[in-house]
A and B are shown apart, each in its own frame.
Chain A
Amino acid sequence: MAQSPQAAGGFASIPALLQRNASAFGSKAAYREKEYGIWQSWSWSDTEKEIEALALGFLNLGVNEGDFIAVIGRNRPYFYWAIVAAQSVGAIPVPLYQDSAAEEMAYVMEHCGARFAVVEDQEQVDKLIEIQDGLHQFEHMIYIDPRGMRKYDHHKLHQFSHVQEQGRAAHEEFIGDLKARREKLDYSSICVMLYTSGTTGRPKGVVLSNRNIIEASKSSSEFDTLGPGEEVLAYLPMAWVGDFIFSIGQAYWTGFCVNCPENADTMMHDLREIGPTYYFAPPRVFENQLTNVMIRMEDAGRFKQWLFHKFMAHARKVGPAILDGQPVGFMDKLKYGLGNLLVYGPLKDTLGLGRVRVGYTAGEAIGPEIFDFYRSLGINLKQLYGQTEASVFITLQPDGGVRSDTVGVPAPGVEIKIADNGEVFYRSPGTFEYYYKNEESTKSTKDEEGWVATGDAGFFDDETGQLRIIDRAKDVGKMADGAMFAPKYVENKLKFFPNILEAVLFGNQREECTAFINIDLNAVGNWAERNNIGYASYQELAGHPKVLETIKSHVEDVNRSLADDPMLAHCQVHRFLVLHKELDADDGEMTRTRKVRRGVISEKFEDLLGALYDGSDEIYTTTEVTYEDGRKGSISATLKIVDAAVSPVERAKVAAE
């Protein structure tokens, strides 16, 4: 296994990097958070003090080495400090998704046996109190926001700032212990445990060592020459490995500044104010931003619209080439410069992406139009491919080699091989240690030589030498006639239309493919408003004949483009229906990271699926839904089933045996 035995630069843990940063970048901003309308900031030396106080407070509360400390809340400096403070005392931080339902949280808390939890506010405290009877090892809870907490029993409940104060007060008593514990940390000690949401089954606890995190952070930072001057906005869930790498791994390795939004709703404002230089967003965010831009342009004056479309057309023509440093005619360059002054620049600033030097997207396929839109504006948006088990990075697109349909070349230090069935395997210094208390899964995922199965099917593109991912390996099925069934590939093509939010394709072991479709309320609602189409509910809009008509044309577009690709031509959608409700994580239809749960959906909507294949024109159905406050209700609707035209293709001959 390719592992450097020596710690990079002699820094074998995040707390060690913290100390280096405090002396190397002392007064430089490490964290900012907008609170009460103002950006508060903490330098690296402030950060070191805050973390030390908290670590001492942890010792004061009796945290032992090897204890698990759950961290539950939105991106705030306090939580990042809690993570590093936990590491400093030899405990293992476990960030959790703060919007998980109590039962999901209960499973994870019990599985890792967390003794402590650092949480945000009353809402999280209540959630933990609700489940704590089932948690055998759970002892203390530390909350940040004291609002509404006065009446609670404070025997095992502590305010964050008080824990720090007690830590400071007990400095003499514990500092020796803290130092000793900190010194014991080495490259193989556990840095963090992250639970993967998992499309199926229970979440698994991925154990990542300091070696994993630091090596992955180091090589990826070098790949994109990230330096201490970068600004990032931390807004993605803290329980997600990406946030851990960007906001802790790379931030501590390079010493750059992590900015935390005021709250989830202000994220776009805060993005604009901070103007990050290094930015990650899942395709969904880029899509939404583009949709919003387009909606606003529809409402703009005629001159503005003309200017926008004129210059955007030019940007699409030459923008990507300019970004890649390819030769471009002088007049084209001049016109692009003018466009930058009038359109691209202001637009990028509005999007908050005016200063982005390195931008990444991953997690799902991004629509080529969307991807090209951002790149043509001069934003260096690239794709990467990764997973929790790899400490994110498996492949990355290098500057100058960016394509919308590939995910890049192997990241530095990563080896990749493709199995016979198309599944992608990798091994790297970032490869996880093991799944916590789950030897079986560890064995089936990571073999003795360190190769990890990604579960994705893909191949290396002949032309670019970059990896191309088609689908989940296990989702790639066979149709009744033996042809390849690649649902995700088709769903992504459908989802590239702004009107379509989600799509679920069926066809495994069947004669032909069919689909469930979710409309995008934002885009379709806007369209309806402009065309004076009244609707009282999502359901009504989703069932509107004109909407069905539009969706049908999208489906047929996709069918046409599928017909060109002999590998996938038989995956054309023959029939589809537009669902009466949005697929929702609260109803278990999607994962928290918004991946569709095919199995759950086909079981839950069995009747609808049946109707797609029995030739009926419409079907009446009732569905149970969960509201945001946890109450359950049900909605019913009669859904139309639409036949879409398919382009004729010669079916790929399957070798008859």
Chain B
Amino acid sequence: MLDASEGYTTEDGRKIGGVVMEMKNITLRFGGVVAIQDISFDIREGEIRAIIGPNGAGKSSMLNVISGFYNPQEGEVWYKGAKRPPMKPYEVARQGIARTFQNIALFEGMSVLDNVMTGRIRQMKAGMLAQAIWKGKAEREEVENREVVEKIIDFLEIQHIRKTPVGRLPYGLKKRVELARALAAEPSILLLDEPMAGMNVEEKEDMSRFVLDVNDEFGTTIALIEHDMGVVMDLSDRVVVMDYGKKIGDGTPDEVRNNQAVIDAYLGVAHD
């Protein structure tokens, strides 16, 4: 098994660091319904960590716990070596955890550039008064942030739609813009909620390439949930498998693939 403090090296030579986030015995209930039951796992620096499971397994709930949209009734979230108190989603975001949404949550009326720029809010320090008084400083800050954003726009190959209002874009490109906005925050952890949902084969391949490239180029830690098994197995370093709110497997794709509980869950549950 893995050593908790040391990192490890993947087959393709990437260095994976220590634990950056740890979920300890998380339980989440909605009224009487238990969405997540006593789940623990960790995320290491620089790895691509997947949470998979059939529909309704509680994957999205887990992602929402990580990003602060839900606060669990029981259990602890440890982030960068400290226990995290219950937080608002925007506070979690400011701690450097960026996310995308399964159904895409973009600012439809704003241009692609403005959307991606909102991702930099964490890094923009100048307050309202300061912007009025020290105009130069605020401008410099804007320019510096714009430079970062332009690199990301270039990286994700969306230059041609820079000025286009997001509402006019097709689905696949919106997904990419959302990824760009999350990346603009230069997050410590990037959470991707079903990044391939609703995509055709070609778009899925593109998105997989971007996810791998992001991880490779920026060393970003990525946690993603997905129910397309094939995609996940190719992408991730380690996989958590959930079913009916419980964890039924955790390990490398190969380990998970040969896990009997996982096989049963996937064969026993109809999923599309």
Q: Do chains A and B touch in the complex (CB under 8 A)?
A: yes
Q: Which of A144-152, A163-171, A279-287, A637-645 contacts B (4 or more CB under 8 A)?
A: A144-152
Known contacts A36-B151, A627-B202; is-contact A150 B159 (Cβ 8 Å): no
Residues of A within 8 A of B217 (CB): 147-148
A614 within 8 A of B: no
Chain B residue nearest in CB terms to A267: B160
Question: Which of B13, B153, B157, B216 contacts A37 (CB under 8 A)?
Answer: B153
Shortest beta-carbon distance, A336 to chain B, in Å?
32
Q: Are A265 and B160 in contact (CB under 8 A)?
A: yes
A100 within 8 A of B: no
Q: Are A36 and B150 in contact (CB under 8 A)?
A: yes
Tell me the bound Cα distance from A148 to B147 in angstroms: 21
Tell me the bound Cα distance from A36 to B155 in angstroms: 10
A495-537: contact bitstring with B at CB < 8 Å (1 yes, 0 no)?
0000000000000000000000000000000000000000000
Residues of A within 8 A of B159 (CB): 37, 262-263, 265-266
Chain A residue nearest in CB terms to B147: A36
Prevailing SS type, chain B contact patch: helix
Which A117-157 residues sit within 8 Å CB-CB of chain B?
A: 147-148, 150-151
Shortest beta-carbon distance, A375 to chain B, in Å?
29
Residues of B within 8 A of A628 (CB): 202
User: Which of B147, B154, B217 has most chain A Cβ within 10 Å?
Assistant: B154
B183-217: contact bitstring with A at CB < 8 Å (1 yes, 0 no)?
00000000000000000001001000000010011
Q: Are A147 and B155 in contact (CB under 8 A)?
A: yes
A111 within 8 A of B: no
Which B109-161 residues sit within 8 Å CB-CB of chain A?
A: 146-147, 150-151, 153-155, 157, 159-160
Tell me the bound Cα distance from A397 to B154 in angstroms: 41
Residues of A within 8 A of B6 (CB): none
Chain A residue nearest in CB terms to B155: A147
Tell me the bound Cα distance from A150 to B216 in angstroms: 9
Tell me the bound Cα distance from A83 to B162 in angstroms: 32
Question: Which of A147, A150, A151, A629 contacts B202 (CB under 8 A)?
Answer: A629
Q: Are A151 and B157 in contact (CB under 8 A)?
A: no
Q: Are A263 and B160 in contact (CB under 8 A)?
A: yes
B3 within 8 A of A: no
B272 within 8 A of A: no
Tell me the bound Cα distance from A266 to B153 in angstroms: 13
Tell me the bound Cα distance from A115 to B86 in angstroms: 62
Tell me the bound Cα distance from A352 to B146 in angstroms: 26
Shortest beta-carbon distance, B91 to chain A, in Å?
31
Residues of B within 8 A of A37 (CB): 146, 150, 153, 159, 162
Q: Are B153 and A151 in contact (CB under 8 A)?
A: no
Q: Are A36 and B154 in contact (CB under 8 A)?
A: yes
Residues of B within 8 A of A35 (CB): 154
Chain A residue nearest in CB terms to B158: A265
Residues of A within 8 A of B155 (CB): 147
Q: Are A263 and B202 in contact (CB under 8 A)?
A: no
Question: Which of A36, A38, A147, A263 contacts B213 (CB under 8 A)?
Answer: A147
Shortest beta-carbon distance, B62 to chain A, in Å?
30
A269 within 8 A of B: yes
Tell me the bound Cα distance from A263 to B160 in angstroms: 8
Chain A residue nearest in CB terms to B160: A265
Shortest beta-carbon distance, B176 to chain A, in Å?
13
Q: List 20 A-B contacts (CB under 8 A).
A: A36-B150, A36-B153, A37-B150, A37-B159, A37-B162, A38-B150, A147-B155, A147-B217, A151-B12, A262-B160, A263-B157, A263-B159, A263-B160, A265-B159, A266-B159, A266-B160, A269-B160, A628-B202, A629-B202, A629-B205
Partner-B contacts on A (CB < 8 A): 35-38, 147-148, 150-151, 262-263, 265-266, 269, 627-629
Give the top 3 A-B pairs by smallest Cβ distance, nearest first: A265-B160, A36-B150, A266-B160
Contacts beyond the supplied A35-B154, A266-B160, A629-B202: 6 A-B pairs with Cβ under 8 Å: A147-B155, A147-B213, A148-B213, A263-B160, A269-B163, A629-B205
